[in-house]
Structure 1
Amino acid sequence: MVPPKVAASPTPGPLQRGGRNRIAEALYAWCQKHYEVGHVFGQDELLSAGIIPNQDLSILLSSVTHLVDQSLFRLHDRIGGTIGWELVDQEKAKNYAGLTRDERIVLFIVDAAGTSGIWTKIIKFRSSLHGRVLDRVYKSLEAKGLIKPMKHVKNPGRKMYILAGLEPSEEASGGAWFSEGRLDIGLVDTISKVVEHYVSTQSWQVVEPEDEEDEPPLPGQKRKASVAGLDSPGDERVKAVKDNEGQHKAKGPKHAPQKSYRPFDAGWRSYPTLRDITNHIMKINVTPTILPQNAIKQLLEVMVYDDRLFKMHRSPNDDEIPDDPVSNIVTMYRSFKTPNDLLERHQLEKRKVSSHESVRKAALRQQELEDIGRGGTSEVPCMMCPVFEICGDGGPVNAVTCKYFDQWYVKLAEADKEAGVGQYNPKGKEKNQHKDRQETNQVVNGNSGPRVDVDLEPS
């Protein structure tokens, strides 16, 4: 009987393609232990590990080829024309398992782009694959959850891809104020209102009722009339109306009086800083979106540019980090509008979008007058009259015969009529309806308009 043949023991060298290679596994373990992921090795570095038997280049070549096939190494061109091998993380290498050659090429290109993403036109150029082949590869990699499309804020029309496990960089996505490549206007408007209100409450000091009478009026604020009535001496002062039982008559429900504010003294150092504002937004949880401090800083710069906030600087405290280490200063923010001013503006914005046409027109007219400024002096004809020097009472040009005044009054009357305010108030239309029919239209500079009677009293 012929004895069976005894198979020779396997050599420690590499086995067939796709099987285990113990030398390659030992070489990869040594690289992981001594170097970080992403390091590019040269031939001499790998031979110095002492793992390749007898420094045999053929065994080294078969080992690194096995690691490249397993996506644990990645080929690189080094300076001088030599070849290098980049160390790849083992978990990331699993993404390449079971992929076709074309899919591996595209995934490698997208992976190399990192968080910046990559344009499909660049992928086509680097892979040298046909467009139809690329379309199939994109669908396959998306179905396997390896890549995903993305939008770049600077190039919204380009079709781009990024690894499925990565988030686009701030430069690509636009930061916290952008959503899917578009500026989130609602988020910016909401946070800016919260910031302005918070800064306003920290920029003004509340005046107590007992101290309010002693406070001088703010610039542009009218002084309140005296309670005692200085213009009516003695017994002619207005007395409170009482009912039969001697009690004061009710004049409707009482509302809480608005708070009065005054500015802080010069040199005030407690205006809110960037850190204070960021902590306030995080504390109130106004939005589920996480807003980092640099995003809040961007918003503050825009609000300063729009004249909604004002910058102030001071030296840092003992435990405070300066915003600018070179000049050693801390930036504070202040609002010139009081909380009452912000509340009035908010109510005006709500009236401007009211469903009632009369309320909406009145609000738009109020906004127009506020844009003109106090008194509307910028639109008064005298401010730009070409014959201002010879204008005067009894002269060839005066306020009574001035044609520029006629044009101005007609424009104001037309604006009030359109807004339904003033003498064109809907509540007073029925009373003045008969009187309006009797008024005749006069022609001013060829344009027909309502008659406007102006009573000029001598100064």
Structure 2
Amino acid sequence: MPPKVAASPTPGFLPRGGRNRIAEALYEWCRKNHDVGHVFGQEELLSAGIIPNRDLSILLSSVTHLVDNSLFRLHDRAGGTIGWELVDQEKAKNYAGLTRDEGIVLLIIDAAGTSGIWTKTIKFRSSLHGRVLDRVYKSLEAKGLIKPMKHVKNPGRKMYILAGLEPSEEASGGAWFSEGRLDIGLVDTISKVVEHYVSTQSWQVIEPEDEEDEPLSPGQKRKAPSAGFESRGDERAKAVKNNEGQHKAKGPKQAPQKSYRPFDAGWISYPTLRDITSHILSINVTPTILPQNAIHQLLEVMVYDDRLFKMHRSPNDDEIPDDPIANTVTMYRSFKTPNDLLEQHHLEKRKANSHESVRRAAYRQQELEDIGQGGASEVPCMHCPVFDICGDGGPVNVVTCKYFDQWYVQLRRADDEASAGQPSSKEKEKNKYKDGQENGPTVNGNPGPKVDVDLELS
């Protein structure tokens, strides 16, 4: 009675060129004892106890069978010897039914991994003609084995990657890139959300009763109450007269705008990278999952753009320091209050308004904010509402400008008031000469006696 034939260690696998049970047993031993990608040497395969009598001819036929079926991949080892790399069985099925040229190209693209590979590099390594490569690319794409990709550093190059892989962060640009291009809309949206969140955590809200007790800064004037300093409770006027003496109708009552002040020195509860990342993930502002390193990149850009600035503190018990050497955690603070950000948002909306006059006024306001106060910005031309139509021969010019005359008169009056009560330069010289005469001449550093002289005028 013939002996029973043992079942194949890899049932369901039909290798190219028929069955080779020794090769299949050798592959199964390699798969169980080592990870995919391990490179075996000749002696290591012989020590597995699979090759009968450690016969080198049987070993050669077995590894050749595995290489032909893409289960092994030839590798050069140190010292000039040859090794065999273990390939995953599911991955090896991709090479089944391919032509020789298709197998070579797929092997080159597979070796590039998540970095992808340039078509010019494929042509150099495969030594195939350009027309042959074009047919191979179309065939492999139709079989769903490869796909084209774009590299952010080389957007003009045509590159390929395995269909089941995603490009590396270096190649794709990370979470802020889409199809090789920077997603400006995503960056703008997330940066606004981050700045608003950091702003709410960077400024302390002043309650109305606390606002009245706030000490005035030097040079700050006290604001008059809405009903005047001499209001008498229930006798407040219910209507306000305008310049024509008519009463204005009361509109809907608006919520009072919040006031903010900075936290005291030494405040350690400013948001950190972990806090900001948790906030972004909790509000689901985008379906794209942004990792913490992507948020860190955005924060660095916002710090460079002067929208945020860094502060440092010692880590808590459950925190990992951002700087292990200095043992510090980085916090972020916003330059602008939430009210400032809201006004900036309204300004951006006016800049995109459909009416040209509204857009021009918004851009003019943006220019004035960029210039700031002081110096030339105090000239009325910088705040003139008809600045764009002012010019020689126009309806508004420097001759007929009433704003400039008013500003000059106010400036002259302010100079006169500032110099009131102070002697002029001529008076100072006269007083100095008079004081010298009253004190008398100086001899050896000591002033002489005071002498009064009466003169008679003829």
Provide TM-score, normalisation by structure 2.
0.79
How far off is 1:223 after superposition? 4.7
2:304 alignment counterpart: 305
1:451 alignment counterpart: 400
2:289 alignment counterpart: 290
Counterpart-to-counterpart distance in 2, 1:359 and 1:103? 62
1:417 aligned to 363, 386, 404, which one? Answer: 386
1:80 alignment counterpart: 79
**Contact conserved, 2:270 with 2:333, CA < 8 A, in 1?**
yes
Counterpart-to-counterpart distance in 1, 2:239 and 2:168? 73
2:237 alignment counterpart: 240
**Contact conserved, 1:361 with 1:419, CA < 8 A, in 2?**
no
**Contact conserved, 1:278 with 1:296, CA < 8 A, in 2?**
yes
Between the two proteins, the alignment pairs up a number of residues equal to: 387
How far off is 1:441 after superposition? 4.7
2:18 alignment counterpart: 19
1:30 alignment counterpart: 29
Alignment CA distance shift 1:441-1:118 (3 Å): closer
Where do 1:46-445 residues align within 5 Å?
46-216=45-215, 223-226=222-225, 229=228, 240-241=237-238, 251-375=250-374, 377-378=375-376, 412=382, 416-417=385-386, 441=393
Deviation larger for 269-278 or 218-227:
218-227
How far off is 1:222 after superposition? 6.7
2:420 alignment counterpart: none
How far off is 1:417 after superposition? 2.3
How far off is 1:324 after superposition? 1.6
**Contact conserved, 2:239 with 2:250, CA < 8 A, in 1?**
no
Counterpart-to-counterpart distance in 2, 1:166 and 1:33? 25
Question: Which one-letter code corresponds to 2:123 in the other structure?
Answer: K
How far off is 1:224 after superposition? 2.4
| Local SS of the residue matching 1:154 | coil
| Local SS of the residue matching 2:386 | helix
Alignment CA distance shift 1:86-1:412 (3 Å): same
How far off is 1:80 after superposition? 1.9
Alignment CA distance shift 1:326-1:221 (3 Å): farther
**Contact conserved, 1:177 with 1:295, CA < 8 A, in 2?**
yes
**Contact conserved, 2:392 with 2:398, CA < 8 A, in 1?**
no
**Contact conserved, 1:358 with 1:419, CA < 8 A, in 2?**
no
**Contact conserved, 1:39 with 1:86, CA < 8 A, in 2?**
yes
Provide TM-score, normalisation by structure 1.
0.78
Counterpart-to-counterpart distance in 2, 1:328 and 1:278? 21
Counterpart-to-counterpart distance in 1, 2:65 and 2:267? 70
| Local SS of the residue matching 1:374 | coil
**Contact conserved, 1:441 with 1:450, CA < 8 A, in 2?**
no
Counterpart-to-counterpart distance in 2, 1:318 and 1:276? 16
**Contact conserved, 2:239 with 2:249, CA < 8 A, in 1?**
no
**Contact conserved, 2:149 with 2:160, CA < 8 A, in 1?**
yes
Counterpart-to-counterpart distance in 2, 1:234 and 1:295? 57
Q: Deviations over 1:224-256 (max 9, x none)?
A: 2245745xx799xx962569xxxx985221100
**Contact conserved, 1:440 with 1:451, CA < 8 A, in 2?**
no
* Structure 1: segments with no counterpart, 5+ residues: 1-8, 11-15, 381-407, 425-438, 443-447
Larger radius of gyration: 2
**Contact conserved, 1:278 with 1:293, CA < 8 A, in 2?**
yes
2:44 alignment counterpart: 45
How far off is 1:296 after superposition? 0.1
Percent of aligned pairs with the same residue?
80
